[in-house]
Amino acid sequence: MSAAEIVVTGLHKRYRATRALDGMSFTVRPGLVTGFVGPNGAGKSTTMRVILGLAAADAGTALVAGKPYRSLRHPLRHVGALLDAVAPHPGRTARNHLLWLAHAQGLSARRVDRVIEQVGLTPAARRKAGGYSLGMRQRLGIAAALLGDPPILMLDEPFNGMDPGGIVWMRGFLRSLAAEGRALLVSSHLMSEVQDTADRLVVAGRGRALADAGVAELIAAASGNRVAVRTTARPDATRVLGRAGGAVSATGPDTVTVSGLPADRVAALLTHGAVPFSELTAHRATLEEVYLELTRDAAEFRAATPTEAPR
Ligand SMILES: Nc1ncnc2c1ncn2[C@@H]1O[C@H](COP(=O)(O)OP(=O)(O)OP(=O)(O)O)[C@@H](O)[C@H]1O
């Protein structure tokens, strides 16, 4: 097992009548951002707390670099975590807060200045944290997670409270940390951010992983090789594409939709058959569509479908 890997296997946990985890299993790999998504109550925070040894599982294992977190000698040099936007002492400056954390871990003041710079807090580092915005507190929390220069990072909702500029920064920052070979587990309810940031996705629902797969793979599977073609020769297009195994349906006077053939093959078949076409668009599902489909039966709370208003 790599030093930058989390392996969660068959975690179960109950809180009285609530089954918080019910066989949660997945792997977080080095060099990749793994998005951790799922409806409220799906068990994401509980899983992260179990990985960090803050909650005990009733069954199953959570290994960090091959060991349970609690048996790591210098845990913060293995895993950095942002669980809630940190609430440092309001009267303490960000730099003093980090110096205090660094001291407790036997880390140098040089690391403190390095992580402040990495998260872009240098101009505010000597200001009291009590006046920080939520976005700044998120940056401070990430600086704290990076102090031990860990190969694994676990971030709960890092996009929370970030303004659009902050979101763009966060996306690039998470990608750059993964590019350095670190393993990142990032929980979020913002599907568009996950789609733009994550390589892999663990979808949690009712205490287990409903999917643990590549983002591109999930989107391709949900997109179903559907291609829309605009053509003045609809019957010819239908014949050529049908003969190659595509299921073709007319969707407008000069458009057809083909399923079962990738877009480049559709283009090649039409060109080879001398069928004129002016537009060819591959249907691409969004991660939000993939997510809603996967979690349809797993959401703990769901608004009733609105019924038609009485006239
Ligand atoms: N300390 C606790 N005591 C009792 N029940 C708990 C406790 N922590 C979590 N639970 C319950 O366990 C289930 C899983 O909760 P968890 O917070 O792990 O979900 P989540 O996926 O992180 O949700 P959210 O997206 O809302 O943060 C929920 O039903 C929750 O109410």
Is the shortest distance between the CB of 11 and ligand 1 below 6 Å?
A: no
Q: How far is the CA of 206 from the centre of ligand 1 (A)?
A: 10
Pairing of strands 279-282, 183-187: unpaired
**pLDDT tens-digit profile of 173-219?**
999 999 999 999 999 998 888 989 999 999 999 999 999 999 988 88
**Mean pLDDT, the chain, whole residue set:** 90
**CA 282 from chain center: how many Å?**
24
CA distance 48 to 244: 48
| In the chain, domain spans | 6-212, 225-284
Q: Where are the beta strands (DSSP E) in 29-58?
A: 33-37
Q: Are 78 and 3 in contact (CB under 8 A)?
A: yes
Alpha-carbon distances, residue 278 vs 26, 30, 154, 259, 260 (angstroms): 45, 44, 47, 19, 21
Instruction: Among 3.40.50.300, 3.40.718.10, 1.10.1040.10, 3.40.50.1820, name the CATH number for the domain at 6-212.
Output: 3.40.50.300
- DSSP H helical segments within 163-279, as ranges? 164-179, 191-197, 215-223, 234-243, 263-272
Strand, helix or coil at 219? helix
pTM of the entire predicted model: 0.83
CA distance 136 to 157: 14
Q: How far is the CA of 48 from the centre of ligand 1 (A)?
A: 11
ipTM of the predicted structure? 0.97
- Which burial class, exposed, middle or buried, applies to 147 when counting CB atoms under 10 A from its CB (0-12, 13-18, 19+)? buried
Q: How far is the CA of 43 from the centre of ligand 1 (A)?
A: 6
**pLDDT tens-digit profile of 261-276?**
989 999 999 999 999 9
